Each structure stands twice: as structure tokens, then as C-alpha cells.
């Protein structure tokens, strides 16, 4: 069987290499590719995705899996080889249901759509983009049709990002979470608002960039295995555990944007860089799911990066960097300012207390699109109505409304709930971490992150894709994804800031 395993791993390595080449083209598309290259890039990506799909659905791979399944059943179920056969068999079963023609068309349509989205958002013109979204939604319906009927059609899309999760599971979690978060937001609204005007000034872009680089270097981001570039919407791409690249964006008149985007993407990158060599190029590398990935990015961005101990260390340096803007702003006022709770238009700049409401809104819209209960032409109006309903604000234009996120326009239907789920997982992990490292706040206060990163490497990163998300969370925290730790975190933090 060792020979069969070796054959399997050889095929998986070839698939990984092809997908890596496609990922590199996608990274370039969002960073350096000139707009005129979109059509050719779509063709290139279509070809690479077709080749990877054909290899992933080959009879050779299927036959190897058939031979290896009995052998894998004799192994320790948590061993790398047993998990490899299980994960690859699952991927194979899904991939063989999807025609190569659909894979090619999806790559072409989404490549052109991303370029159109950037132009439409710049002009705040949703009708300019809507024909592209029509095609993407139609591709989503066709994708669902390739699979046996599920409890809910959205289950099939959600499973691509959260293996094993069901729409009903997510709805139940959100239904329990929503009223508690709304209650907290209403309580905060009754208190005097904190002042964050000092964050809305002119901040030199190069100085912002250098400060962000310094932070994530201390976090443990390895610049020999990564780089940072600018993008319209920050993202992270990993080509291997020795090449994980991040992007960010810089707002010249708002300090939060670049600093916290950089920390967020670094969290993703640290997860990718922590994948062990043994799992590379055999489909077990990467992360357990998007929610687990988001737990890492949101942890470094918020639980670490928006904490008081963190800024007790970094704020003096920030004041030195921007003396005229922050020199007379006390630490406590700065800490309150970066944690100000106020319903806002832009998801990626939302505070922790309101952020999940942005996600719940998007999930409702995604489900309605997949249920064919919402027409594309009505999307801006529905978006604005739900923003009023959920957050009490109405976008003044499409750029700050329905066009703000790249995900749908990249074809990522089924993705958004993972952000909120990631928030919950981050708090679950944080409680366990603080029991394991009792002096963690003091370590953060000293600008030391080695123990935190080491714990995450051992408990989360080294497992790659071996475990499904609920399984991994259960192993590490003792329970499946649970909203209670996150609510405890929010109530404690904002209770202190706002005197609740």
C-alpha cells in the first residue's frame, strides 16, 4: 500500500502545482495586472482550472482511492495517511459531479467580473456590474444542480467553505447571537459616545505602511516567505507554506484601515505559514475551513490588536510616528477610539459589536439569491433596506453599499457566514489560550508573541485540513462552535469601555 500512497501523493502534488500556478495568476490579477489583461487572464485561469479538475477527477485517482480506503481504515484515524485518504475521497466525490465545462466557464466569468467590479465600484454604478452578477448567480444555481438535493440548496455552497456545516446550523447560531448583540448595541447607544475624531486626520501613507510592517514582523510574519502589496480589497494568498502573501489598503485620512487590515491578513498568513512540510502538495495543507481561518485573522486583528495591553506596548511608538496627530492623545482615549461602537456602512471597518450584523445581512441576501427569491436588479434596494433594518444606516451610494465587497463578484457564494463564525471560534480559542498561558496579557504588553504563535502552531496550524472545522474546534476547546465565549468577550470589553 505504500506504493499506492506514493502514487496518490504524486497525483496530488501535480494538482497542487497547477492550482498554485492559477493562484499566482489570480494574485497578480488583483495586484499588478493591467485592466486590459482581464479577458486573457480569464482564458489562462480557465485552462489551468480545467487541467486541475481533469486530474482531480481522473479514473486513476478514483481507482487509487478505492484501493486505499480499506487500508486507511486500519490506520489510526487521526494519522496523516488516514486523513489524507478521507479528505481526498471527499474532494474527489464532489469534483466528479462538476463538469469541466462549468469549471472553465466559472474561471472566465469571475475573472471578467472582478475587473468589472473594480470599475463599477470606482464609479459607484451597480447597473454596470449587474450582468456579471447575473451570470455568477446562474453559475451558482447550476453548481447546486450537480449535487443530490440537500436540506437547503445553500448547504451545497456553504460546504465548499465550511465542510460539514449546514444552513440550519448557521441560522441557529445566528438566531441565538443576534438578539444578544442587538441588546448590547442598544445599551451602548444609551451611553455617552467615545471620541475618535483624532483617527480621522491626514496620516502619511508611508509611515502607516512602515508601522504596520513593524507590527506583523513582531507577530512572527516571515518576510523570507511572504510580501505585502496593495489591493482594492485586502486578501491573503498562499502558494505554499513557504510563500504566503498578504495585501492591504491605506486610507490617507483614517488610521484604522491600514493597521487593522494588515494585522487581519497577517493572521491568515501565519496560519498558512504554520502548515507543516509533511502536508504540503497533498491537499492537506492550508486551513480546516474559512471560519477557522477567520478565527486566526480576527484573533490577531481584534483580540490582540485592539486590546489595551497591545497598545500599552505599541502606542508610544505610534505617537512618535505621528506626533502632531497623536502626541496629545492619551492612551486610554486612543484605546477607546479604536474600539468605538457605532453602526457604520463598511463591513471591513465595522467595530466588533456591530460586525456580525453586517454578516447576517449578507447571509440573508445570499440565501435569497440561491432560493431565487431576489432579482439582481433589486439587490441595491434590498441591501439598503436591510442596512436600515439591521444597523440604522443607509448607504448613500452603491460603492459604500452593495458593491463594497469583492466576494460575490469573485464567485464566492456561500462564504460570508464564515466571518461571523470565525469571530465566535476566535473567542472560544482565546479562553483556552489564556488558561494555557496565564501571563499572556503581560507578554502582549511587552510586545512578545512567541508563546501565542507557538500555541496556535501546535493546536491549530499543524493540522492543516486534516479535520473538519467543528471537529477541530471540539478537539481544542471541548465544544463545537459556540456563541457564548464571544458574547462574554464583547460584554466584558465594551462594558468596561462604555461603563455598562
**What kind and span of H or E run contains 240?**
strand 236-240
Question: CA-CA distance, 97 to 125, in Å (whole number)?
Answer: 36
Question: CA-CA distance, 351 to 342, in Å (whole number)?
Answer: 7
- How many helices (H) and strands (E) would you count in the chain? 21, 3
- Helices (H), ranges, 126-203: 126-145, 154-161, 167-189
- In sequence order, the 6+-apart residues with CB closer than 8 A to the CB of 74 are none
Q: What's phi and psi for 237, nearest 5 deg?
A: -130, 130
Q: What is the 8-class DSSP label of residue 252?
A: T
Residues assigned a catalytic role: 265
SS (H, E, C) 150-167: CCCCHHHHHHHHCCCCCH
Q: What is the 8-class DSSP label of residue 499?
A: T
β-pairing, 236-240 with 243-248? antiparallel
CA 54, 78, 477 angle in degrees (round to 5)? Answer: 110
Q: What is the 8-class DSSP label of residue 413?
A: T
Question: CA-CA distance, 399 to 222, in Å (whole number)?
Answer: 34
Question: CA-CA distance, 139 to 413, in Å (whole number)?
Answer: 10
Q: Smallest Cα–Cα separation from 162: which of 480, 452, 387, 403?
A: 480
**What kind and span of H or E run contains 404?**
none
Amino acid at each position: 500500500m505504500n506504493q499506492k500512497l506514493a502514487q496518490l501523493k504524486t497525483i496530488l502534488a501535480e494538482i497542487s502545482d497547477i492550482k498554485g500556478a492559477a493562484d499566482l495568476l489570480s494574485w497578480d490579477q488583483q495586484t499588478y495586472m493591467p485592466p486590459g489583461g482581464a479577458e486573457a487572464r480569464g482564458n489562462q485561469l480557465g485552462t489551468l482550472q480545467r487541467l486541475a479538475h481533469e486530474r482531480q477527477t481522473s479514473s486513476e485517482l478514483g481507482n487509487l482511492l478505492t484501493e486505499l480506503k480499506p487500508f486507511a481504515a486500519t490506520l489510526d484515524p487521526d494519522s496523516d495517511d488516514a486523513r489524507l485518504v478521507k479528505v481526498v475521497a471527499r474532494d474527489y466525490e464532489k469534483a466528479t459531479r462538476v463538469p469541466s465545462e462549468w469549471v472553465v466557464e466559472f474561471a472566465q466569468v469571475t475573472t471578467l467580473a472582478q475587473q468589472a467590479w473594480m470599475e463599477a465600484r470606482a464609479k459607484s454604478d451597480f447597473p454596470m456590474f449587474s450582468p456579471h452578477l447575473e451570470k455568477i448567480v446562474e453559475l451558482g444555481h447550476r453548481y447546486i444542480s450537480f449535487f443530490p438535493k440537500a436540506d437547503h440548496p445553500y448547504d451545497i455552497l456553504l460546504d465548499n467553505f465550511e465542510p460539514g456545516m449546514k444552513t440550519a446550523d448557521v441560522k441557529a447560531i445566528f438566531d441565538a447571537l443576534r438578539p444578544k448583540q442587538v441588546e448590547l448595541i442598544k445599551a451602548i447607544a444609551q451611553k455617552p459616545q467615545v471620541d475618535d475624531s483624532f483617527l480621522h486626520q491626514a496620516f502619511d501613507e508611508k509611515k502607516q505602511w512602515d508601522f504596520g510592517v513593524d507590527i506583523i514582523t513582531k507577530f512572527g510574519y516571515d518576510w523570507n516567505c511572504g510580501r505585502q502589496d496593495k489591493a482594492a480589497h485586502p486578501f491573503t494568498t498562499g502558494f505554499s507554506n513557504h510563500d504566503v502573501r498578504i495585501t492591504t489598503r491605506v486610507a490617507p485620512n483614517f488610521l484604522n484601515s491600514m493597521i487593522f487590515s494588515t494585522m487581519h491578513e497577517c493572521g491568515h498568513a501565519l496560519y498558512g505559514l504554520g502548515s507543516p512540510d509533511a502536508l504540503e502538495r497533498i491537499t492537506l495543507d492550508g486551513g480546516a475551513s474559512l471560519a477557522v481561518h477567520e478565527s486566526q485573522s480576527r484573533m490577531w486583528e481584534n483580540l490582540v490588536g485592539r486590546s489595551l495591553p497591545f497598545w500599552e506596548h505599541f502606542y508610544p511608538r505610534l505617537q512618535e510616528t505621528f506626533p502632531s496627530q497623536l502626541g496629545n492623545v492619551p492612551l486610554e482615549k486612543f484605546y477607546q477610539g479604536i474600539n468605538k461602537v457605532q453602526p457604520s456602512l463598511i463591513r471591513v471597518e465595522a467595530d466588533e459589536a456591530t460586525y456580525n450584523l453586517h454578516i447576517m445581512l449578507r447571509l440573508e441576501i445570499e440565501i435569497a439569491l440561491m432560493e431565487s427569491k431576489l432579482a439582481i436588479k433589486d439587490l441595491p434596494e434590498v441591501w439598503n433596506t436591510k442596512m436600515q433594518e439591521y444597523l440604522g444606516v443607509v448607504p448613500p451610494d452603491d460603492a459604500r453599499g452593495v458593491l463594497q465587497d469583492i466576494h460575490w463578484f469573485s464567485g464566492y457564494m456561500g462564504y460570508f457566514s464564515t466571518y461571523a463564525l470565525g469571530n465566535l471560534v476566535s473567542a472560544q480559542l482565546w479562553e483556552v489560550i489564556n488558561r494555557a498561558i496565564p501571563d499572556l496579557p503581560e507578554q502582549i504588553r511587552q510586545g512578545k508573541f512567541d508563546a501565542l504563535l507557538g500555541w496556535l502552531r501546535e493546536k491549530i496550524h499543524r493540522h492543516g485540513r486534516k479535520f473538519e472545522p467543528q471537529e477541530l474546534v471540539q478537539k481544542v476547546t471541548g465544544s463545537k462552535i459556540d456563541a457564548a465565549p464571544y458574547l462574554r468577550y464583547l460584554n466584558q470589553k465594551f462594558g468596561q469601555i462604555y461603563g455598562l
